């Protein structure tokens, strides 16, 4: 354990990036809608149906995902019909794909049905399975036991 973690009671988790991320994506419906967007779903009715949520719930969550900058609304029109909006992942939303892949990978290992996973993720160019790994900026694969937690610039002291 690092000296920093040994002093855990001297600093606060109030400015925690995980907590802030969960404020944005931390409910089941949001993650399922993001899953669908990552699979290429674009239309409102398809989001609600494929995520298994009611239309009012889908509408509220999609609106929030647009507000949070994870999805973008784009108008489209089919011949003879009124203009509607489709939802497309933004760069910020696409940056969550490794998080979704890690959740899928964990679920495939620990929460899969007897018949196996419903989907597999493969590299488009070669067909090999895609896996999420921890890597340091120098390019080394890192096991969970090799990770140090260090103070960051936004660390806040604990309040008495």
CA angle 113, 119, 125 (to 5 degrees): 150
pLDDT at 2 (0 to 100)? 63
Q: Mind listing the pLDDT tens digit of every residue in the chain (160 residues)? A: 568 888 888 888 888 999 999 999 999 999 999 999 999 999 999 999 999 999 999 999 999 999 999 999 999 998 999 999 999 999 999 999 999 999 999 999 999 999 999 999 999 999 999 999 999 999 999 999 999 989 899 999 998 5
The pLDDT of residue 69: 98
SS3 102: helix
Phi/psi region, residue 125 (left: phi>0; alpha: psi -120 to 50; beta: rest), is: alpha
CATH 3.40.190.10 applies to domain 3-152: no
- Residue 160 confidence (pLDDT): 59
pLDDT at 4: 82
């Amino acid at each position: 354990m690092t000296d920093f973690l040994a002093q855990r009671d001297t600093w606060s988790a109030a400015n925690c990036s995980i907590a802030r991320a969960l404020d944005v994506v931390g409910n089941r419906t949001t993650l399922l809608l993001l899953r669908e967007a990552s699979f290429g779903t674009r239309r409102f009715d398809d989001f609600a149906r494929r995520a298994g949520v009611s239309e009012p719930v889908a509408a509220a969550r999609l609106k929030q995902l647009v507000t949070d900058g994870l999805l973008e609304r784009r108008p489209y029109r089919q011949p003879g019909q009124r203009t509607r909006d489709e939802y497309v992942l933004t760069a910020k939303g696409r940056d969550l794909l490794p998080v979704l892949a890690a959740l899928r990978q964990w679920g495939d290992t620990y929460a899969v049905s007897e018949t196996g996973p419903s989907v597999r993720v493969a590299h488009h160019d070669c067909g090999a399975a895609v896996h999420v790994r921890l890597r340091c900026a120098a390019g080394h694969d890192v096991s969970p036991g090799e990770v140090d937690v260090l103070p960051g610039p936004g660390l806040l002291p604990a309040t008495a």
